[in-house]
Chain A
Amino acid sequence: MNFFFLFLSAILVNNFVLVQFLGICPFIGVSKQIETSIGMGLATTFVMVVASAATWLVQHFILEPFNLPFLQNVAFILVIASMVQLVEMFLRKTSPNLYNAMGIYLPLITTNCAILGMALILVLRSYAFGESLVYGLGAGLGFTLALVLMAGIREELKFADIPKPFQGAGIAFILAGLLSLAFSGFAGLV
């Protein structure tokens, strides 16, 4: 049950975007169409899972034995950047359309603070290897959920009569705030 609660907590209660406010840039940038937001979410999820495993290994087999905790950020970013490169090559080969649709936001996963944040949280809470993987998966799916929710609403909003001052980024920020407010209702669930 422990894994299940951890998973649920990562998706809903501690949703990376809407509760912890990490990874806001792609949340606003790639949430205009459901299709691309799902692609972005799954790519980020993949990077998160692989990065959670890789950073756990780096932390426990390189940083801790050699007493180098100050290199944490550098080492993690190195690992995450490599993972993103890998995803980029894979996507370019398997799905050129998705690759083109995500455009600049794909390489920007590298600097997505949700991923570095997740890696640092894992160390902070000293999760075991299995727990790290589950937390990474949950965090990624939570990110995807937030993106898809946002994209769904924004797709509908295209046909809505929005007052002029709120059009564009304005209404997107208001939406993000409301979604975040809704997610705060999950506090205490786990």
Chain B
Amino acid sequence: MTRLALLLSTLVLALFIAALVVGPADIGIYQSLKALFVDDEGPMTLVMREVRLPRALLAVMIGGSLGLAGAAMQGYLRNPLADPGLIGVSGSAALAAVLAIQTGLAASFAFGLPLSALAGALIGVFLVLVLAGPRGSSLTLILAGIAISALAGAFTSLVLNLSPNPFAANEIVFWMMGSLADKSMTHVWVALPLIVLGALMLATMARGLDALTLGEDAAEAMGIGLRRIRLTLIFGTAAVVGASTAVAGAIGFVGLVVPHLLRPFVGARPSRLLWASAFGGAAMLLAADIAVRAILPARDLKLGVVTALVGAPLFLHLIYLTRREGL
């Protein structure tokens, strides 16, 4: 338990430092870390503080958010296939973000973009939960998710194709795949408040989720308000996923892979899985972002490509398991 916490936090820290020292500009490890802390008035500090630091911070924040949201959703729905990307929450957040950018709402005030994405994500979670029902089977959940994802994706493409800006259409890829390239500290400050708020909300669900493993009646008997849990889940997930998607696009599979990998180590207790998945998600996204920069530095490979390459086979494996168990 504490060993796992120690291990995961060391991993995140190590990857965070690696993310800071890996990059297309040729700067030594010692030099780059020194430039980060001591302002040399030159380009090196600029690169470290304005290019690499925000990128690494965002990877931690967004990866953590997605891992946490995935674990919370899977705990609440008691369904290992739930993932904010897969069930269309990220997609609807991306649609709302695109609308905010195209209508100029995003430019009108600082938090216009993340708040719109939050609204989009809220609608997404809400629709999926309504369509799939409170104890929805895997099948209805995934079907509802696919429908919402496809719809949101189609509208996103439509809006970007109609834009008078010739670059907008190319951005369909960004919104569907996600990327952390060329982000600045502004993006960090814009996303941070909602991510912290959402993460705190999801963290309060820990006890409720543990109780829910005994069944809903037992949970109610223990004094857990199911309505409140449900609302916390909806708002918490929408806040973290909305803010993440607003700055980095829809990055899939993190919320699916991480809880699945960590579940055996936490004794299947959803409360422990929550924080473990937050750490795990941060580590996964940091690693993916390092991979993106190390493999094809000049090609702006999208993050979602890497996470999907890891996540999709696992998803197929999960479906296979589900079928075999006859659920």
Are A and B associated in one complex? no
Which residues does B use to contact A, with CB under 8 Å? none
Q: Which residues of chain A have a CB within 8 Å of any CB of chain B?
A: none
